[in-house]
Structure 1
Amino acid sequence: MEGGCPFCAIAAGERAVAELYRTEDAVSFLDENPAATGHALVVPTTHCEELLTAADAIRDPVLDAVGEVADRLDAVLDPDGFSTFYTSGPLVGTVDHAHVHVVPRETDDGIGLSLDRRELDDEHAAALAERVRRVD
């Protein structure tokens, strides 16, 4: 456990939360400041700040748990859909422990998760795709 990390304390069972699901490698619980009913977080039980580039043994169980939690929330709440998101680095917010948000959604719930979009430049796309394919 990382000293002072609230999600490590939750993973260790030292902090009370509304726990939804637990495996040896991941735990899910209701967000204390939910955007919607059933808004859950899924975190690795081992302290990890960056999930997407973490070792498979850390990343894969968390992503599997995201699917399991969504299935269970779907069975209980029957939402219109889900928004699932993950943010890393200095953009993550106040807890430097990787966490995935699973948010059950309703058609008119007023939740806004917007992206400023622009048209993909074919030449830039081809060059970037080639660079990514070359990574070992």
Structure 2
Amino acid sequence: MPDDAPNCEFCRIAAGDTDDHRVYEDEETVAFLDANPAVKGHVIVIPKRHVTGVLTTGVGEAVFATVGTVAEALQADLGVDGFSTIHTTGPLIGTIDHAHVHLLPRWEGDDVSLALPRRTLDHDQAERLAERLRQITA
């Protein structure tokens, strides 16, 4: 277990020190059933290394490859209609600061609600933002 995260529940899971319901593991990631699932088959995917974000810490490719592998298994076993994935980073992450992605199997008519407020895209603001991002990513 990393020295910088001695009390991290997900580090204990990654180390194999808990009684989790693991569904997949490779050298970099672990996927396990959520102990408090929103739906049947709700899986959490974590990097084994303690980091607070998936997208900017070098673990994203491995984590999302595992999300894909587990999604295929859930599709084969549960016959789901689709999936929702949820990842939050930084101080918004909640009670566990170890990076993770929730993979939620979805069925037509399920009671999962992932509502996002929608706004109208301002063309001029969008073009300025797009240009800045193109310059950074070039």
TM tier, smaller: over 0.9
**Separation of aligned partners in 2, 1:8 and 1:28:** 12
Q: Which residue of 1 aligns with 2:62?
A: 61
The answer to whether residue 38 in structure 2 is matched with residue 35 in structure 1 is yes
Q: Which residue of 2 aligns with 1:125?
A: 126
Determine which of 14, 19, 22 is the counterpart of 2:17. 14
**Separation of aligned partners in 2, 1:14 and 1:98:** 18
Code of the aligned partner of 2:121: L
Code of the aligned partner of 2:57: A
Q: Which residue of 2 aligns with 1:3?
A: 6
3-state secondary structure, aligned to 2:38:
coil
Q: Which residue of 2 aligns with 1:88?
A: 89
Q: Deviations over 1:87-118 (max 9, x none)?
A: 11121111000000100011111110010001
Code of the aligned partner of 1:14: D
3-state secondary structure, aligned to 1:67:
helix
Quote the RMSD (CA, aligned, Å): 0.8
Q: Which residue of 2 aligns with 1:45?
A: 48
Q: Which runs of 4+ in 1 moved over 3 A?
A: none
Query: CA offset at residue 123 of structure 1?
Result: 0.4
- The TM-score with structure 1 as length reference comes to 0.96
The answer to whether residue 77 in structure 2 is matched with residue 76 in structure 1 is yes
**Separation of aligned partners in 1, 2:111 and 2:60:** 31
Matched residue pairs, number?
A: 134
- The TM-score with structure 2 as length reference comes to 0.94
Structure 1 vs Structure 2: percent identity of aligned residues? Answer: 47
3-state secondary structure, aligned to 1:104:
strand
Q: Deviations over 1:11-49 (max 9, x none)?
A: 000011100000010000000110100000000000010
**Separation of aligned partners in 1, 2:20 and 2:68:** 20
Code of the aligned partner of 2:39: A
Query: CA offset at residue 59 of structure 1?
Result: 2.0
Structure 2 unaligned spans of 5+: none
